[in-house]
Amino acid sequence: MPQTTPAPLMTVTGSTLVIAPTPHRRAARAPGPYGRLFTLPGTRAFTAGNLIARLPMGMFGISAVMMIAGQRGSYALAGAVTATGLAATALVAPWTARLVDRYGQARIAVPATLIAVLGSVALILCVRTQAPAWTLFASYAATATTPNIGGMSRARWTHLLRESPAAHHTAMSFEQAADELCFMFGPVVAAFLCSAVFPEAGTLTAAALLLTGMLLFTSQRATEPPVSAPGHGASPLRAVRPLLVLFVPLGVVFGSMEVTSIAHLDAHGLGAGTGLVLALQAAGSCAAGLLYGAFRPRSLRTCLITLSAAMTLPWAAAATGSLPLLAGALLLAGMATAPTMVTAMSRIHAVTPEGRLNEGMTLAVTAIFAGISLGSATAGTLVDHLGPTTPYALPAAAALLALLTVRLSGTTQVP
């Protein structure tokens, strides 16, 4: 059958006849849930700054360890310095977040970031000049002023999407996926820079990215949430305290799983594949987080039941001694973590007093850090006494404890 050509358009301008071909009309394709997020003015710019500033969060720790151990020849010193920085962050971060809520993101985050960057530069200089060991602790402790960029980004989404719970759920899922991506690629980038360029390159690059990203993020003033008035909003600690008890065992899941996986792979002569295997776990969480954001949220209890079941898979796979089985089990286990974190963070949003959201989320992150430290230390002890396979029971037990905590507190539903 011969094809018919649509008649051309004809317009007359003055005495000139203009013939133009008929444009091909394509049906407009509605953007998906994530596409709709970034149609809001300013969201692309602050997200770009957020991702640039967030990548160093996965770089600083391993960069400091490789730099200090490489220059001073002591992993014990390197570990003690980074542990001191983590403890300082647990103390300082909630106060920084409180100031952010009270005076605004730009006014507090920029000077706080400058202090943290100066601490990183001081650490480099102290390591390079063979300064006394106490100067390393003091320098790294100064980085505790680093603002919670993930919390500030979530606060912006919460402000912009306060009338759209479904879109807010999608935004929180995106933020969780971003966390996973940065903590997946950050250590890889840091390890490459420290080993292939020079030992201080990881810390130096992380500091530069943090400052650049924070300046870009805070320059987007139109999307910045309003500050809380003096005395406005009660302290979020009392409201979020029941949930903090939940975030500690979740942190134990993350910390114990990482240490146990490293020890197990090393014991089986598979240390070279450690980075790839752990990246699979983070990739599974990232993919699940993005997928979860496109669907209706589930109850926190449902997510924790799934997490508890998924955390038994690495334990079973490790018993076989098969790397492919363990890699697949860690991928599936990772896919259960992001929905749980998104749903738990939604509970933080629901109970935190208005105007104190950044502080409430920072308290949750602090509880996670405490759990990670506890999980790492406990898993290390179990590895020394029980071997590298049995400690895989610890993440499963921690997930079950988180589930029992939710059942006892009655915190099961997403608002």
Residues 6+ apart with CB under 8 A from 137: 80, 81, 84
* Spatial distance between the Cα atoms of 338 and 285, rounded to a whole number of angstroms: 5
What domains appear along the chain, each with residue ranges and CATH number? 43-227 (1.20.1250.20), 233-415 (1.20.1250.20)
Residue 18: in which H helix or E strand, if any? strand 16-20
**Gap between the Cα atoms of 205 and 181, Å rounded:** 18
Say what the pTM is. 0.73
Question: Which candidate, 402, 352, 380, 141, places its Cα nearest to that of 251?
Answer: 402
Beta strands (DSSP E) in 31-140 are: none
Q: Are residues 158 and 168 in contact, defined by beta-carbon separation less than 8 angstroms? A: yes
**Average of per-residue pLDDT across 21-40:** 67
Residue carrying structure tokens 């992993």: 75
Rounded Cα distance between 334 and 310, Å, is 8
- Structure tokens belonging to residue 42: 């300013």
pLDDT at position 19: 47
List, for residues 322-370, the tens digit of each pLDDT value. Answer: 888 888 998 899 888 888 988 888 888 778 877 777 788 888 888 888 8
Quickly list DSSP for 86-141.
HHHHHHHHHHHHHHHHHH-HHHHHHHHHHHHHHHHHHHHHHHHTT--HHHHHHHHH
Three-class DSSP category at 353: coil
- One-letter amino acid at 232 equals H
Structure tokens at 340: 């749980």
Tell me, what's the pLDDT at 11? 47
DSSP assignment, residue 223? G
**pLDDT score at 30:** 61
Tell me what pLDDT residue 65 has. Answer: 79
Average pLDDT, the chain: 81
